[in-house]
Structure 1
Amino acid sequence: MKRRTLLLATLAVPASLALQGTAQAAGYPSKPIELVVPNIATGSTDMVARTFARHAEKRIGKPLVIVRITGAGGYNGSRAVREDQSKGYKVLLTHQGLIANYLTKMAPYSYDGFKVGPVVAEDATVGLYVSGRSKIKSINDLLARARAEPGKVKAATEYGTYNHFMFLKLQKEQGVKFQMVEIPGDAGRIPALLGGSVDVIAKIYSGTEDYLKSGDFVLLGEPTGTRAPNAPHVPTYKEQGVDFTFPPYLFTLFFNRDTPDDVVEQWAEVAREVTSDPAYRKEIAALGMAVAYRSPQENTAAYAAIQKTMAELASGAESFARQ
C-alpha cells in the first residue's frame, strides 16, 4: 500500500516541477540568461520581451536580462544568438523577420538556422496608416490612387523586414506599385507620416490610439481573415471588399542549434505556464497584443508555411529610395 501511495504521489507531481527537477539535474540554468531583442526599445518585440521576462524568470529560476542588439533589420541580433556557444544562456525573441532577412539576402540563414521554440504572443494588427490630412480615407482609396499614379505613392518601410513583405504582397495581389522609402523603425516612420514626407506606413495597432483620436492618422483596416482579438473594432480589408490578408507577427523564442533539446523543452513548458497566467494575459492585452501559445513543433510548421508564402514574393524585393 505504501509503495502504491508513493507511486501515485510521484505521478501527481506537476509537469513543470518535474521538468524543473530535470533541468536542475542537468545544471541548467546556473546563471542569468540573456534574452536578445533584435529591435529598438519601445518597439513591439521589446515590449513583449520585457513583459514575458518578468513572468518567465520566476519560473525559470534565474534572472532574464534584456539585451537589445539592433541594426540590419534584426540580423545583428539574430546573428549574436546563432553564433553563441553558451547552449541556452542567450535566447532570441523575435518573429518572422528572420524569414524576411533570409529571403532578401540580409542574412545567410532563416528560422531553421535555429532551434525553434514556442510562441509567447502574437499581433495580427499590422495595419496601413495614412495622414488625417490626406484625401485617402479607406483601403480602396489607397489602391485607387496607387493604380492612378504607379510608383508615386510613398510607402515607408525597411528593406528586408516583415512589413516590407506585406507591401510586396499587397502590390502583387492588387496590381499596384508603391515607391518604397526606407525609414527604419516606428520612431522614424511615425514622424515621416506626420510630416508628410511619406503617404502610408505599416504599423501594429498598439501605440497609435492617440494619433487616431487626434485625427492625425487614419487606419485603413487590418490584414486579418477575421477581426483581430486585440482590435475588434477595426474592420478587415476583406470587409471592405479587398481580398488581402497577411500572417500575424508570431513572437517566438529561438535557440542556438547547439542548445540541448531538454533546455528548449523546459522553455516550452515555461512559456506554456506564462501564457496561461491571467496576469500575463492582462499585461499583453494592455499592450494591444494577443496572447498565443504554440509548441516548438507547431511553431516550426507555421514558420515553414509562412516562408513558402514569402518566398514567392522575394523576387519583388526591389531597391529602395533612400532618405
Structure 2
Amino acid sequence: MPAHPLDGTTICALSTPPGRGGVAVVRISGPQAWPVVDALCRGKLEGCQPGRAALRILHDGEKPLDEALLLPFRGPKSFTGEDIVECHIHGSPFIAQRLMECLVDAGCRPALPGEFTQRAFLHGKRDLAQAEAIGDLIDAEHAGAHQLAIQQLGGGFSDEINAFRQALIEYAALMELELDFGEEDVEFVDRDGYRKHVTSLLDRIAQLLSGFSTGRAIAEGVPVAILGAPNRGKSTLLNALLREDRAIVSDTPGTTRDTLEEVLTLEGIRFRFIDTAGLRDTTDDIEAEGIRRAWAKAASARFVLYLVDARDLVDAEGREATTR
C-alpha cells in the first residue's frame, strides 16, 4: 500500500525525460532532502544559501559520480512546501540512474507519478485547479491549450471560484437572518436586490460552465464535422486542409463508410476535422451505420461544415433536398 504523502518520507525522482541529453534534473523533497544530498557532496551543501545554486561534486561511495549544479530550497518556500534539492547533472542515463540508486540507498523513496504536485497541494502551495493546470501545461501541444493552462496556473479560475464561494456565504448568512427574525418587523436585506444578486451569480456560474466546454474543446482540439451528401467533396476538402492524401477520394458514391478524424493547428488553435459518410437513404447496413455515426459526430461537434454542389441549388427541388 502506498505511503501517505505527508508521512515524513523523503521522495526523489528524475524530473527530466529519460534518455541522453545535455542536462538531467533529479529532484528530492522531504525532511531528509538536505542531509542526504549533503552526504553525497561530502558536507558541502549545509552552508549553501536556499534559493542559490551551488556547484558541487556528488560522490558514489568513495568515487566521484558527477559535477552537479545543486539548487536547494527550504520549506515552506519551495514548490512542495518541504525542503527540496534539485540536482542538475550531466544528461547521462547511467549517471541519472546511479544517482537515483544512491538516493534510495540513503533512505529516499522513488516518488509516485504526480507526487511532487500532490505534496504542493496538501501543503497549500497550490489549490486543486492549479495542480490540475500543471498537468495541462505539460500536455499542451499548441498555443491555445498553453494559454488556458497558464491562466489557470496563475489562479484566474481559482479566484473566480473563491469569489463565488464568498458571495454564497454572504447570501446564506443573510437568508439565515431573515429566517431567524422573519416574524419580527426587521428586514436585513432588500429582497428584490437580493434576488437580482443571486440571479446574477447563477448567470455567471452558467457562463463559467459554458466556458468549460469551450476550454475543453480548445485543449483537446475543436471538433469540426464535415457533412454532406455523397460525392460532395468532403474527403477532398479534408485532404486539401491536411495537404496530403489522407482520405480515399472516388467518384463512386458511398466510398467513405466510417468517420475519419485528423488534427490540424491553425493560428495556434487545434482543430479536429472529421470526415464522414455521405448522407443519403440506403439499404446497405454498413453504409447506414456510417451515416448514423456521421449524424452522431455532427451532434457532438463544435462546428459543422456542410458541403453542397452548387448545381443542386439551381432548381427548387434541389434546394429543398439540400435544405432537408
Place the TM-score, normalised by the shorter chain, in its bin. Answer: under 0.3
Answer 1 or 2: higher relative contact order, Cα 8 Å, separation at least 6. 1
Q: TM-score normalized by structure 1?
A: 0.20
Q: TM-score normalized by structure 2?
A: 0.20
